A and B are shown apart, each in its own frame.
Chain A
Amino acid sequence: MTVSHDASGEAVLEHEENIVGHLHHVVSWQTYLAVYIALLFLTVITVLVATVHLGEFNTIVAMSIAVVKMLLVLLFFMHVRWSGSVLRMVVVAGFIWFAIMVVLTMSDYASRHWDQGGSAAPNVPGVAPVVQQVNSEQSNH
């Protein structure tokens, strides 16, 4: 990390740009309008796709479109497209941590019924179990 001196002899750390990127970057209203129209369009598409029965694909398509919409808002409305690396890392970190939480938790639910056919859901009357309970000697602990 370099320490330079400005005209008055003040030592200045050169990392402002690394954090916020180009300061006071002005995004044109035309760009905003284009992004807005894209977002409206994608919302309509999301609803239209929901009218068609694609099974599991419905979820995947809906979520993919939602992710694209989110990226548009993040990159353009929230200026991440022009932000420095440190800010981008903060954004990415939030999502990675959410992913950690989901993946490791789902590793439990996904694997519960590997063990002698135990049900992941509580066996409650009136509630349809996910997997048939198989009688076994071994208990799940």
Chain B
Amino acid sequence: MATVTRTIDYEKPIYEEEVNYLNTDYSLKSWLFTLDHKRIGILYLVSISLMFILGSAAAGLIRLELLTPQGDLLNADAYNRAFTMHGIIMVFLFLIPSIPTVLGNFVLPMMLGARDVAFPRLNLLSWYVYVFGALWILAGLILGGADGGWTFYPPYSTTYANSHIVPVALGIFIVGFSSILTGLNFIVTTHRMRAPGLTWFRLPLFVWSLYATSLIQVLATPVLAITLLLVAVERVLGVGIFSPQLGGDPVLFQHMFWFYSHPAVYIMILPGMGVVSELVACFSRKNVFGYKFVALASVAIAVYGFLVWGHHMFVAGQSVYAGMIFSALSFLVAIPSAIKVFNWTATLYKGSISFQTPMLYALGFIGLFTIGGLTGLHLAALSTDVHLSDTYFVVAHFHYIMVGGMMLAYLGGLHYWWPKMTGRMYPELLGKLSALIVFIGFNLTFFPQFIAGFEGMPRRYHEYASQYQVFNVLSSAGTSILAVGFILPVLYLLWSLKWGEKAPINPWGSAGLEWQTPTPPPTQNFLETPVVTTGPHHYSQVREEVVG
């Protein structure tokens, strides 16, 4: 077998006349029965974007209602359904799949130098399971939706709710299996499908973060599955294991629910951290500072994240002593996150920074995630949590992480890999503008909520005392700006598919293995299996300048 050393010429664009994964077959059947991880990533992109629109509509209703202290737009029952469906759709149908199924599916095998994931058919099945579960949830939504919060606490959810809990709960149960199968696939792929020479500590940080996320998906999601099943059983039979009249304990539900749902929030941030590592390295033209620490911190967050769930139950009836244990453990879990923030900052230091759109999102992430993380510490402390629990402070905290963090990282990653996925460049000026609008709109929406919550405004109430109105007006105003910031990318990204500038192979001068293939890639990704001889993000060895 001949050994060939090739130098890839990055100036030469790949024209669409060449066969790639997109133009190899245009039929609908080829898309719906595809085994190509790249196409499956696109299928997910379309699905979760549709779900995001629905979840945003629910958010819009909430913020419109909260413009005034009275319950005028929505009555209490309708409002309860609005925030419940907003939470369910955004968490289970958008944020949890987002980066892993769209960017991860697309990029992970290429980052490993592989032709596909370990189990392509399982990958396609994951998507169909996701769609099937989403349809159940949508059916519940159309019938009138569920209420009681995405947290489904009994005995309300099991006994007293008059809404469509069962189809929605079963829908989430089904979607959970999509998550499990994706995680399983990624773990086996990362262990088994690495190209020769690609050792664990040569893996890009995005892979490490996806691996850590997959560990959580595999170990935590089954507990959610059984918990929701038990809720459905209790609703159908009229009694269940959480029924107080049988001696059951509703707090047991909370233990089981949060055993999954706390690690789930790490599913909703770790992939974003991985994207940020890639972006910060590429747009500072520097290796990530403390690579090993960042890689191991990802796994540490995944593992530690399983030990802290009781901090959601400090005021629920859990014993104070258990509360103390959970509080102490919750402080510890902040450490690996902080390590990452310090390492990204150190990567930026003395780097050659360029402010392309993906980098703007990455920088926004670092700042907003830090705020979100620090406010998490307020909530981890038992004493302050008693005051802040179930107020808007909590709402602001998790939106800073989920939207300010994960969502920005998702947008950053989408823009970064957009040329690779589509062969087109998005319009850079519009990209930068949207990022700025998102940042401003986001902070205007959610920062006032910290203050409102601290001042005592409770969450999940459709009406509130008039002293909180100014914060709510600011917040709702911010939502309209944020909406513009989200709509613009949808428009210009779609526009770019037909009219965007054709992308060169490696527009960012990135060191990633996924950029060593044609853009867009052929179905089998690599023309020949690469052999890796260097570490990841090795920008210090590269003498190029990024074309801005």
Contact = CB atoms under 8 A, between A and B. Distances in A.
A, B co-complexed = yes
Interface of A: 1, 3, 8-13, 19, 86, 93-94, 97, 100-101, 104-105, 107-109, 111-112, 114-115, 120-122, 124, 127, 140-141
| Most B Cβ at <10 Å: residue of A10, A11, A120 | A11
Contacts of A141: 314-315, 317, 320, 386
| A-B complex: 4 closest residue pairs judged by Cβ atoms | A11-B196, A108-B322, A111-B321, A111-B319
A115 B319 contact: yes
Contacts of A122: 244, 247-250
A138 to B, nearest CB: 10
Contacts of A19: 191-192
Given A10-B196, A11-B196, A111-B319, 18 more contacts: A1-B200, A3-B196, A3-B197, A3-B531, A11-B197, A101-B259, A104-B322, A107-B325, A108-B255, A111-B321, A112-B318, A115-B319, A122-B247, A122-B249, A122-B250, A124-B244, A141-B314, A141-B315
A104 B314 CA distance: 14
Contacts, number: 79
Contact of A93 (B200, B219, B245): B219
Contact of B255 (A11, A97, A105): A105
B312 to A, nearest CB: 12
Contact of B320 (A11, A86, A100, A115): A115
Contacts of A140: 317, 319-320
B135 interface: no
A13 B191 contact: no
B319 A114 contact: yes
Interface of B: 1, 3, 191-192, 194, 196-197, 199-200, 219, 223, 244-252, 255, 259, 306-307, 309-310, 314-315, 317-322, 325-326, 386, 531
A121 B1 contact: no
Nearest to A8: B1
A115 B307 CA distance: 23
A73 B337 CA distance: 41
23 contacts: A3-B531, A8-B1, A9-B3, A19-B191, A19-B192, A94-B219, A100-B307, A101-B259, A104-B309, A105-B255, A105-B259, A107-B321, A107-B325, A108-B310, A108-B322, A111-B319, A112-B318, A115-B320, A122-B247, A122-B250, A124-B247, A141-B314, A141-B386
Nearest to A127: B247
Contacts of B249: 120-122
Contacts of B247: 121-122, 124, 127
B213 to A, nearest CB: 16
Nearest to B329: A104
A130 to B, nearest CB: 10
Contacts of B317: 140-141
A83 to B, nearest CB: 14
Nearest to A140: B317
Contacts of B245: 124
A122 B248 CA distance: 7
Contacts of B255: 105, 108
A93 B196 CA distance: 28
Contacts of A3: 196-197, 531
B531 A11 contact: yes
